[in-house]
C-alpha cells in the first residue's frame, strides 16, 4: 500500500472500505458484511460506490474479505429491479 | 466598574439551596428571604442599597471596606451586612446618624489617598467609589492630602486591553478574589500590609508577564478606575447595551455589547448568561477588534483565474458571476459537480440557508461543515449508543459532579469559562481524572491537582477506555439495576463478555499505552464508585482513526455505571466552535437533513420537498475530504465556502490545495483573504457576529440569540448574501429577517418545534429538544429513557492506527489549541491577543531535544511522511518523551502540511492527533513555506485603478 499522504483516490477508497469493515466486524461479527454495506450505502456518495464497482470489475483491488462481501451486497442491491430501503 | 443597568445584590445567593425562609425587618419593612442570605442581599432584594465597596454578588463576602455596616437590635457594635446572615425576627437599620458618621469616616480615609481627577478620569460616571462618596454624603476630607501617599505610582500598561493604575487602587481585594473565585487562576495577591498593601500580579510582575490570563474578571470587579479597559479610556463610557452571544468557542458566553452609537466600547459578560454567569475569557471580552481590522475586505471581488489579481466589483456583478458559473459547471459536469461548506461560526439560520441552497438550489447533498474535522464522531457515537448526537448535560451540571473525568480535552485553554467552573467544583472537593498525553494545566495548577493523570500514548484511547471497562465489569462495579432497566441487556452481555477478556485488562495494554496498570485500575474504580461521575471529552477523543469507537467506548462506560440522566453525570463533548453544534443540528451534513434525519428517509425528505417545492436527492453527498478527491477525479468543479478555511484547518494541506486547484469556481465568503481564498475566484465579504441577527447553539444544546449591534460594514449580513446567491439561481427566497428562517427550521425540525426568536427573547435561551412535551427545552437528556429507547452497548475492538512511528519518524505529533488564539487565528491574530502567542511553536521533551541538539527557541524542521514545515522549539516536560505538540493558529507554519489523511473509520474525521514525525534543527523555513509565502502574496493582490496621468 502507498504511504499515507501519498494514497491515490482509488487507494484511499479501498483503505477506507477496509477500515470500515475491520471496525464493524468487531462490532457485529455475525453480520459484518451487511453492516459494512449498510454503512457505505448510508455515507458514501454514489460516485464513490460506482468507482469501486468499476475498479472491482478490473480485478482485485485489495479489499479485505468483509469489505469485498459488502460490495457484493451493494452490487446485488444496485442490480435489483426495485430499490432496497436504506437502513 | 458599576453593573450598568444591572443590579448588584452584594453577595451571592446562599450556597445551600433551601426552602426554609426567614422573615426579618429592614428599615421598618418586612423582608422574607431564604435562610443563609446576607443582610446586604436581603436589603438589595427589597430595593434598599446599603453602601459597599468590597462586596459584589459574583464573589463571596469579604467584609473589608467597612462601609456596609448596619445596626441590629440586640447586637452590639455595627456588623458588616455583607458577612452577617439574616435571622428570624431580626430588626435591622441601614441608615442612622451613627452609621452615616462611620461611613463618612471610612470614605474620608479612602479619598485622602486617592487622586481627585474625577472629571478627566476614564471611569467618570462609572465609578463605585464616586457613587459611594455621593451615597454617604461626603463633603470634606479632614485628613488633608499632605503626608505619605500611594499616588504617583507607575501604571502597568503591559496588557494590550486594560491598564492598571495602582494610584487609584483602594485595596478592596475584589480583583484578587475575582481571579481566585471566578477565574481560578490565582494570579493576583495583595502584597505588603497596611499602608504598603498593593495589588501584585504573580511575583510582583507586570500583568502581561505574569500568570494572568487576561480574562478581565478583575477589571470587571474593580470599583474604581484602577483596572480599566483601554477602550473606555479612549472612547468614553458607553451609553447603551445590547445582549448578544460570543462568536468564539462552544461555551457560548453571552455579553452586553456596550456601545456609543454604533461603536462598540466594551463587551461585558452578561450576569444572566446561562452558560457563563457573568464571566468570560480574553477572547470574548477583548478580542473583537478584528471587526475593524485593516485586513478586512469590504467589497466583493472576482477573478477568472487564481493567477490574476483580484478585481473589486459590485455586489450585483459578483453574485451574477457566482450564479452563472455554478450553472455553467452543472451544465457541463452534471448536477453533482458543485457543493457548499457551511460555517460553524455563522448562525443557525445561515447554516440552514447554505444547506437549503445546496439541496434546493444545487439539487444535490454536497454540503458539509467543519464538524467533519472535529466532532463528527460524537454525532456517530452518541447517535448509535444513546440515540441523539449531542451532549447530555448543562455546564452547570459539573457543580454536582463528584468525579470529573477529562479525556482528550483541555478546557482551561479551549473552553476557558467552563474550565473556570470546573476548577471551582474541583476546589470544592470533586475528584479529577485526566487522560491526556500532555500534562495540561488541569493536571497541576494552583489549588488543582488531578487524582490520576493517565498520559496515554496518542492513538490508544480505545484500548485505555476498554481497559477501564474491563475493570468495571470484572470487579463487579456495573450498576446492574440501571443497565437492566435502561439498556438493551443482550447487547450489554455481549459487550461485558468482550471487555472481560484478559487481553483487554490494564496490565495487558500497559506496554502499548504507557499508562501504569495500577493507575488505570484506580481511575476506573474511582469513576465507577466515586458518586456522580461525569465525562468531558474533546478532539483528543474524536480526531483519531477510531474516533467514533472512542466515543462509543465512553458512552459504554457511562451506561455501565449508571452515570447518565441526572445532574452531575453524563457525556459532555466540548464542542469547539461557537456554532458547530448548531451547524450540525441544521443539517449541514451530506447525509442528513436538520435534526439528524437521513436524506433517504422518505417521510423527512417529503416534508422538505413539500415546503421547498422541489424534488430532493435521496442519496448522500460528498464530505469535505471527498470533495477534494472528486475534484481531482474531475467530477467536482464548483464550491461555495462560507467562513471556513479548509486549506489551513484540514489535514494534508497539499492534498487540499490540489483539490482546490482542480476546481473551476471557488466562492469564498469570509471577513479576510484567508488561505482558501488564495485558490478562489469569487470573494464575498462577510459580516461579523456584531453585524447580524441570528442564533448560535453552544455545546449544551443551548440556542441563544445573536443580536445586531452595528450595521454590517460590508453591506449585508451573511444570511442576506446566501439569499442573494439563491435568488440569482432562481430560488425566489423572500426572507426579510432571520427569525423567519428559524420559524422554517421549527416547522421542519421536530427537536426545534418550539424554538422561535420570541421564545428565545422571553426565556433567554432554550436547550433543544424543545417540543410540545418540553416547550422550554430539556437541560438534562435521557432522564427516564434514552432518545433511542434503550441504551445500546457496542463492542469497541482496539484497532491500531496505520500511522506508525519508526526509525525515520520516531516521534508522535499531536496538535491542539491555546487560550489566546482561536482555531486558524483569522480573528485572534488580528487583535491584541498576538501578545501572548505570536507564532505556533513545537513543544518537545528535554530528552528528545537534547538527543537532537535542539535548544529553547531554535528553529526546527518538523517532518512527516506527508510534508515538512519549520517552527520554533519550546522545550518542556509537559509532553512525554516521544511526543511533540503544536498548535495550528498561524498560516506561516501551516501545521497541517504534516498531518496525514488517515481518518476516523465512520465519519472521516481526520486523525490530527497522531502523526509520526521527525524533528531536527533547521536553518530557515522549509522550501514549501517559502514557496507558499510567495504564492500567498501573489494571490492576495487586489488590482487598483491607476489614476490618469496629469
The pLDDT tens digits for B904-917 are 999 999 999 999 99
- Which one of A1, A3, A4 makes the best mutation probe of the B interface by having the most chain B beta carbons within 10 Å? A4
- HEC-encoded secondary structure of chain A: CCCCCCCCHHHHHHHHHHHHHHHHHHHCHHHHHHHHHHHHHHHCCHHHHHHHHHHHHHCCCCCCHHHHHHHHHHHHHHHCCCCCCCC
Candidate from B623, B630, B900 with C-beta closest to A5: B900
Chain B residues close to A5, C-beta within 8 Å: 652, 654-655, 864-867, 900-901
3-state secondary structure of B581: helix
Contact indicator for B580, B371 with CB cutoff of 8 Å: yes
Instruction: Compute the radius of gyration of chain A from its Cα atoms.
Output: 13
Given pLDDT bands bounded at 50, 70 and 90, which one contains residue B827?
A: confident
Flag whether A31 is in a domain: yes
* Gap between the Cα atoms of B642 and B686, Å rounded: 8
Chain B residues close to A3, C-beta within 8 Å: 865
Contact indicator for B298, B606 with CB cutoff of 8 Å: no
Bridge partner list, B163? B228
* Gap between the Cα atoms of B131 and B224, Å rounded: 10
* Mean pLDDT in residue range B330-355: 97
Bridge partner list, B607? none
Given pLDDT bands bounded at 50, 70 and 90, which one contains residue A3?
A: very low
CB pair distance less than 8 Å for A19 and B866: no
Flag whether A61 is in a domain: yes
Taking chain A, what is the end-to-end CA distance rounded to the nearest angstrom?
32
Selection from B705, B732, B727 nearest residue B716 by Cα: B727
* Gap between the Cα atoms of B59 and B242, Å rounded: 25
Task: Summarize pLDDT for B145-168 with one digit per residue, the tens.
Answer: 888 888 889 999 999 999 999 999
Residue B272 in grid coordinates: 444572566
Chain B residues close to A42, C-beta within 8 Å: 591, 598, 600, 620
Flag whether A3 is in a domain: no
pLDDT of the residue at B2: 45
Contact indicator for B602, B361 with CB cutoff of 8 Å: no
Given pLDDT bands bounded at 50, 70 and 90, which one contains residue A87?
A: very low
pLDDT value at B873 more than 90: yes
CB pair distance less than 8 Å for A5 and B622: no
Selection from B231, B101, B95 nearest residue B162 by Cα: B231
Distance from CA of A60 to the nearest CA of B (A): 21
Bridge partner list, B697? B703
pLDDT value at B812 more than 70: yes
Q: Does B629 contact chain A (CB < 8 Å)? A: yes
CB pair distance less than 8 Å for A6 and B865: yes
Candidate from A4, A20, A48 with C-beta closest to B902: A4
CB pair distance less than 8 Å for A9 and B632: yes
Buried b (16+ CB within 10 A) or exposed e, B3-40: beeeebbbbbebeeeeeeebebebeeeebebbebbbbb
Say which residues have a Cβ less than 8 Å from residue B595's Cβ, sequence separation at least 6. Answer: B585, B587, B748, B749, B750, B751, B752
Q: Where are the beta strands (DSSP E) in B196-239?
A: 198-201, 227-229
> In degrees, to the nearest 5, what angle opens at C-alpha B121 toward C-alphas B242 and B125?
45
Task: Summarize pLDDT for B503-529 with one digit per residue, the tens.
Answer: 999 999 999 999 999 999 999 999 999
CB pair distance less than 8 Å for A22 and B799: yes
Contact indicator for B855, B873 with CB cutoff of 8 Å: yes
Say which residues have a Cβ less than 8 Å from residue B65's Cβ, sequence separation at least 6. Answer: B52, B53, B54, B55, B106, B170, B172
* Gap between the Cα atoms of B222 and B218, Å rounded: 6
* Mean pLDDT in residue range B547-553: 98
Residue B154 in grid coordinates: 507607575
CB pair distance less than 8 Å for A45 and B796: no
* Mean pLDDT in residue range B204-225: 95
Burial class (CB in 10 A: 0-12, 13-18, 19+), B363: middle
Flag whether A58 is in a domain: yes
Say which residues have a Cβ less than 8 Å from residue B147's Cβ, sequence separation at least 6. Answer: none
Chain A residues close to B633, C-beta within 8 Å: 9, 51
Chain B residues close to A7, C-beta within 8 Å: 901
Helix axes of B624-633 and B653-661: crossing angle, nearest 10 degrees: 50
Chain B residues close to A43, C-beta within 8 Å: 591, 620, 623, 906-907
Chain B residues close to A27, C-beta within 8 Å: 794-797
Candidate from A6, A22, A44 with C-beta closest to B620: A44
Chain A residues close to B630, C-beta within 8 Å: 45, 47
pLDDT of the residue at B81: 98
Distance from CA of B555 to the nearest CA of A (A): 15
Cα distances from B376 to residues B167, B464, B596, B889, B921, in angstroms, run 52, 21, 12, 21, 37
Chain B residues close to A67, C-beta within 8 Å: none
Flag whether A1 is in a domain: no
pTM assigned to the model = 0.95
Size of the A and B interface in Cβ pairs below 8 Å: 81
Task: Summarize pLDDT for B303-317 with one digit per residue, the tens.
Answer: 999 999 999 999 999
Contact indicator for B113, B45 with CB cutoff of 8 Å: no
Distance from CA of B548 to the nearest CA of A (A): 10
3-state secondary structure of B629: helix
* Gap between the Cα atoms of B339 and B641, Å rounded: 9
* Gap between the Cα atoms of B257 and A2, Å rounded: 54
Say which residue the cell 497539499 belongs to: B654
Given pLDDT bands bounded at 50, 70 and 90, which one contains residue B144?
A: confident
CA dihedral (B535, B536, B538, B542) in degrees, to 10, reads: 10
Helix axes of B461-474 and B517-529: crossing angle, nearest 10 degrees: 60
**Which residue in chain B is spatially nearest to A17 when comparing CA positions?**
B905
pLDDT of the residue at B839: 86
pLDDT of the residue at B949: 56
Strand order in the sheet with B452-454: B452-454, B431-435, B403-407, B533-537, B570-573
Flag whether A2 is in a domain: no
Chain B residues close to A6, C-beta within 8 Å: 865-866
Given pLDDT bands bounded at 50, 70 and 90, which one contains residue B948?
A: low
Flag whether A54 is in a domain: yes
Distance from CA of A19 to the nearest CA of B (A): 6
Task: Summarize pLDDT for A5-31 with one digit per residue, the tens.
Answer: 578 889 999 999 999 999 999 999 899
What kind and span of H or E run contains B243? strand B240-245
pLDDT value at B653 more than 90: no
Taking chain B, what is the end-to-end CA distance rounded to the nearest angstrom?
57
Say which residues have a Cβ less than 8 Å from residue B799's Cβ, sequence separation at least 6. Answer: A19, A22, A23, A26, B462, B545, B546, B549
Candidate from B549, B623, B633 with C-beta closest to A9: B633
* Gap between the Cα atoms of B544 and B95, Å rounded: 65
Selection from B12, B285, B58, B83 nearest residue B180 by Cα: B58
* Mean pLDDT in residue range B288-295: 93
Percent of chain B whose predicted confidence (pLDDT) is above 90: 89
Residue B809 in grid coordinates: 519518524
Cα distances from B358 to residues B542, B631, B748, in angstroms, run 27, 17, 17
**Which residue in chain A is spatially nearest to B867 when comparing CA positions?**
A5
Lowest pLDDT segment from A5-19, B247-261, B280-294, B734-748: A5-19
B690 secondary structure, DSSP code:
G
* Gap between the Cα atoms of B571 and B565, Å rounded: 10
Peptide bond preceding B769: is omega within 30 degrees of 0, i.e. cis?
A: yes
Given pLDDT bands bounded at 50, 70 and 90, which one contains residue B787?
A: very high
* Gap between the Cα atoms of B156 and B683, Å rounded: 42
CA dihedral (B92, B97, B98, B99) in degrees, to 10, reads: 60
Distance from CA of A87 to the nearest CA of B (A): 9
Candidate from A7, A44, A86 with C-beta closest to B600: A86
pLDDT of the residue at A20: 97
pLDDT value at A1 more than 60: no
Burial class (CB in 10 A: 0-12, 13-18, 19+), A64: middle
CB pair distance less than 8 Å for A47 and B630: yes
* Gap between the Cα atoms of B779 and B769, Å rounded: 9
CB pair distance less than 8 Å for B635 and A47: yes
* Mean pLDDT in residue range B757-785: 96
Number of domains observed in the structure of chain A:
1
pLDDT value at B947 more than 50: no
Residue B370 in grid coordinates: 467543519
pLDDT of the residue at B888: 82
Given pLDDT bands bounded at 50, 70 and 90, which one contains residue B252?
A: very high
Q: Where are the beta strands (DSSP E) in B526-680?
A: 533-537, 570-573, 592-593, 597-598, 638-642, 665-670
Percent of chain B whose predicted confidence (pLDDT) is above 70: 99
Domain hosting residue A41, numbered range = 8-85
Contact indicator for B437, B879 with CB cutoff of 8 Å: yes
Given pLDDT bands bounded at 50, 70 and 90, which one contains residue B24?
A: very high
Phi, psi of B858 (to 5 degrees): -65, 150
Contact indicator for B339, B639 with CB cutoff of 8 Å: yes
Candidate from B591, B619, B632 with C-beta closest to A46: B619
* Gap between the Cα atoms of A22 and B548, Å rounded: 13
* Gap between the Cα atoms of B789 and B267, Å rounded: 43
CB pair distance less than 8 Å for A42 and B620: yes
Buried b (16+ CB within 10 A) or exposed e, B895-927: bbbbbbbbbbbbbbbbbbbbbbbbbeebeebbe
Q: Rounded to a whole number, what is the largest CA-CA distance in chain A?
A: 41
Q: Does B45 contact chain A (CB < 8 Å)? A: no
- Is pLDDT larger for residue A60 or for residue B319? B319
Mean pLDDT of chain B: 95
Say which residue the cell 462506560 belongs to: B557
* Gap between the Cα atoms of B690 and B707, Å rounded: 7
Chain A residues close to B867, C-beta within 8 Å: 5
Flag whether A25 is in a domain: yes
Beta carbons within 10 angstroms of residue B48's beta carbon: 16
Amino acid at each position: 500500500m502507498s504511504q499515507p499522504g501519498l494514497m491515490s483516490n482509488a487507494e484511499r477508497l479501498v483503505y477506507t472500505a477496509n477500515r470500515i469493515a475491520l471496525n464493524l466486524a468487531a462490532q457485529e461479527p455475525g453480520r459484518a458484511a451487511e453492516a459494512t454495506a449498510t454503512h457505505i450505502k448510508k455515507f458514501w456518495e454514489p460516485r464513490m460506490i460506482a468507482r469501486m464497482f468499476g475498479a472491482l470489475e478490473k480485478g482485485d483491488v485489495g479489499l479485505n474479505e468483509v469489505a469485498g462481501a459488502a460490495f457484493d451486497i451493494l452490487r446485488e442491491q444496485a442490480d435489483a429491479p426495485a430499490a432496497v430501503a436504506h437502513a | 466598574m458599576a453593573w450598568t443597568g444591572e443590579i448588584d445584590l452584594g453577595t451571592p445567593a446562599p450556597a445551600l439551596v433551601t426552602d426554609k425562609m426567614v422573615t426579618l425587618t429592614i428599615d421598618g419593612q418586612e423582608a422574607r428571604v431564604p435562610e443563609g442570605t446576607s443582610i446586604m442581599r436581603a436589603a438589595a432584594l427589597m430595593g434598599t442599597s446599603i453602601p459597599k465597596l468590597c462586596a459584589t454578588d459574583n464573589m463571596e463576602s469579604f467584609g473589608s471596606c467597612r462601609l456596609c455596616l448596619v445596626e441590629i437590635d440586640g447586637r452590639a457594635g455595627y456588623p458588616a451586612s455583607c458577612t452577617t446572615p439574616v435571622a428570624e425576627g431580626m430588626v435591622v437599620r441601614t441608615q442612622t446618624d451613627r452609621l452615616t458618621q462611620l461611613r463618612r469616616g471610612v470614605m474620608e480615609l479612602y479619598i485622602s489617598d486617592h487622586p481627585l481627577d474625577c472629571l478627566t478620569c476614564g471611569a467618570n460616571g462609572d465609578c463605585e467609589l464616586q457613587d459611594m462618596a455621593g451615597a454617604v454624603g461626603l463633603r470634606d476630607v479632614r485628613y488633608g492630602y499632605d503626608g505619605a501617599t500611594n499616588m504617583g505610582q507607575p501604571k502597568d500598561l503591559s496588557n494590550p486591553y486594560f491598564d492598571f493604575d495602582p494610584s487609584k487602587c483602594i485595596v478592596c481585594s475584589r480583583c484578587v478574589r475575582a481571579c481566585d473565585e471566578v477565574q481560578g487562576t490565582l494570579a493576583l495577591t495583595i502584597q505588603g500590609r497596611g499602608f504598603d498593601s498593593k495589588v501584585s500580579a504573580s511575583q510582583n510582575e507586570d500583568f502581561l508577564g505574569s500568570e494572568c490570563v487576561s480574562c478581565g474578571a478583575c477589571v470587571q470587579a474593580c470599583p474604581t478606575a484602577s483596572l480599566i479597559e483601554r477602550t473606555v479610556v479612549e472612547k468614553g463610557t458607553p451609553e447603551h447595551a445590547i445582549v448578544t452571544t460570543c462568536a468564539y468557542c462552544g461555551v457560548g458566553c453571552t455579553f452586553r455589547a456596550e456601545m456609543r452609537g454604533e461603536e462598540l466600547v466594551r463587551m461585558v459578560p452578561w450576569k444572566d448568561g446561562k452558560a457563563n454567569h457573568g464571566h468570560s475569557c480574553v477572547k470574548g471580552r477583548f478580542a473583537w477588534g478584528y471587526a475593524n481590522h485593516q485586513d478586512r475586505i469590504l467589497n466583493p471581488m472576482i477573478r477568472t483565474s487564481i493567477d490574476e489579481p483580484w478585481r473589486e466589483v459590485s455586489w450585483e456583478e459578483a453574485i451574477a458571476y457566482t450564479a452563472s458559473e455554478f450553472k455553467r459547471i452543472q451544465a457541463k459536469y452534471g448536477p453533482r459537480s458543485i457543493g457548499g461548506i457551511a460555517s460553524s461560526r455563522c448562525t443557525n439560520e445561515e447554516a440552514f440557508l447554505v444547506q437549503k441552497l445546496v439541496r434546493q438550489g444545487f439539487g444535490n447533498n454536497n454540503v458539509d461543515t467543519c464538524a467533519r474535522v472535529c466532532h463528527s464522531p460524537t454525532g456517530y457515537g452518541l447517535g448509535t449508543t444513546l440515540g441523539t448526537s449531542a451532549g447530555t448535560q448543562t455546564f452547570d451540571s459539573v457543580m454536582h459532579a463528584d468525579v470529573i473525568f477529562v479525556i482528550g480535552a483541555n478546557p482551561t485553554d479551549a473552553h476557558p469559562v467552563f474550565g473556570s467552573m470546573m476548577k471551582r467544583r474541583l476546589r470544592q472537593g470533586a475528584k479529577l481524572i485526566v487522560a491526556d498525553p500532555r500534562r495540561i494545566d488541569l493536571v497541576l495548577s494552583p489549588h488543582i491537582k488531578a487524582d490520576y493523570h493517565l498520559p496515554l500514548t496518542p492513538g490508544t484511547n480505545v484500548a485505555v477506555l476498554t481497559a477501564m471497562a474491563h475493570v468495571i465489569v470484572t470487579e463487579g462495579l456495573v450498576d446492574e439495576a440501571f443497565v437492566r432497566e435502561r439498556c438493551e441487556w443482550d447487547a450489554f452481555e455481549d459487550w461485558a463478555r468482550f471487555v472481560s477478556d484478559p487481553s483487554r485488562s490494564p496490565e495487558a495494554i500497559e506496554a502499548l499505552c504507557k499508562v501504569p496498570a495500577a493507575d488505570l485500575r484506580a481511575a476506573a474504580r474511582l469513576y465507577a464508585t466515586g458518586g456522580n461521575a461525569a465525562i468531558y471529552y474533546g478532539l483528543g477523543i474524536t480526531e483519531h482513526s477510531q474516533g467514533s469507537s472512542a466515543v462509543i467506548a465512553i458512552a459504554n462506560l457511562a451506561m455501565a455505571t449508571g452515570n447518565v440522566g441526572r445532574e452531575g453525570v453524563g457525556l459532555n463533548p466540548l464542542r469547539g466552535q461557537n456554532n458547530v453544534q448548531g451547524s450540525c443540528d441544521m443539517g449541514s451534513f451530506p447525509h442528513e437533513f436538520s435534526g439528524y434525519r437521513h436524506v433517504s428517509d422518505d417521510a423527512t425528505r417529503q416534508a422538505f420537498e413539500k415546503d421547498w417545492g422541489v424534488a430532493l436527492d435521496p442519496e448522500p453527498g460528498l464530505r469535505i475530504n471527498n470533495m477534494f478527491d472528486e475534484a481531482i477525479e474531475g467530477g467536482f468543479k464548483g464550491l461555495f465556502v462560507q467562513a471556513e478555511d479548509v486549506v489551513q484547518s484540514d489535514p494534508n494541506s497539499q492534498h487540499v490545495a490540489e483539490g482546490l486547484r482542480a476546481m473551476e469556481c471557488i466562492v469564498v465568503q469570509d471577513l479576510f483573504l484567508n488561505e482558501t481564498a488564495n485558490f478562489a475566484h469569487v470573494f464575498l465579504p462577510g459580516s461579523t457576529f456584531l453585524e447580524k441577527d441570528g442564533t448560535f447553539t453552544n455545546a449544551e444544546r443551548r440556542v441563544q440569540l445573536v443580536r445586531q449591534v452595528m450595521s454590517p460594514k460590508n453591506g449585508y449580513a451573511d444570511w442576506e448574501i446566501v439569499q442573494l446567491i439563491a435568488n440569482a439561481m432562481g430560488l425566489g427566497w423572500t426572507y426579510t429577517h432571520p427569525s423567519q428562517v428559524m420559524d422554517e427550521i421549527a416547522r421542519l425540525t421536530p427537536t426545534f418545534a418550539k424554538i422561535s426568536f420570541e421564545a428565545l427573547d422571553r426565556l433567554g435561551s432554550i436547550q433543544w429538544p424543545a417540543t410540545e412535551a418540553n416547550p422550554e427545552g430539556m437541560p438534562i437528556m435521557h432522564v427516564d429513557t434514552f432518545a433511542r429507547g434503550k441504551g445500546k452497548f457496542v463492542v469497541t475492538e482496539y484497532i491500531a492506527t496505520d500511522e506508525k512511528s519508526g526509525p525515520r519518524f520516531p516521534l508522535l505529533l499531536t496538535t491542539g489549541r491555546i487560550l489566546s488564539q482561536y482555531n486558524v487565528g483569522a480573528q485572534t491574530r488580528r487583535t491584541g491577543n498576538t501578545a501572548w502567542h505570536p507564532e505556533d511553536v513545537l513543544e518537545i521533551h528535554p530528552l528528545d531535544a537534547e538527543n537532537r541538539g535542539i535548544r529553547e527557541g531554535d528553529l526546527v524542521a518538523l517532518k512527516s511522511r506527508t510534508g515538512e514545515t519549520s517552527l520554533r522549539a519550546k522545550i518542556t516536560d509537559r509532553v512525554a518523551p516521544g511526543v511533540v505538540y503544536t498548535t495550528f493558529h498561524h498560516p506561516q507554519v501551516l501545521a497541517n502540511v504534516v498531518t496525514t489523511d488517515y481518518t476516523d473509520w465512520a465519519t472521516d474525521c481526520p486523525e490530527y492527533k497522531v502523526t509520526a514525525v521527525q524533528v531536527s534543527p533547521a536553518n530557515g523555513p522549509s522550501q514549501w513555506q517559502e514557496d507558499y509565502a510567495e504564492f500567498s502574496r501573489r494571490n492576495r493582490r487586489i488590482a487598483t485603478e491607476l489614476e490618469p496621468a496629469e
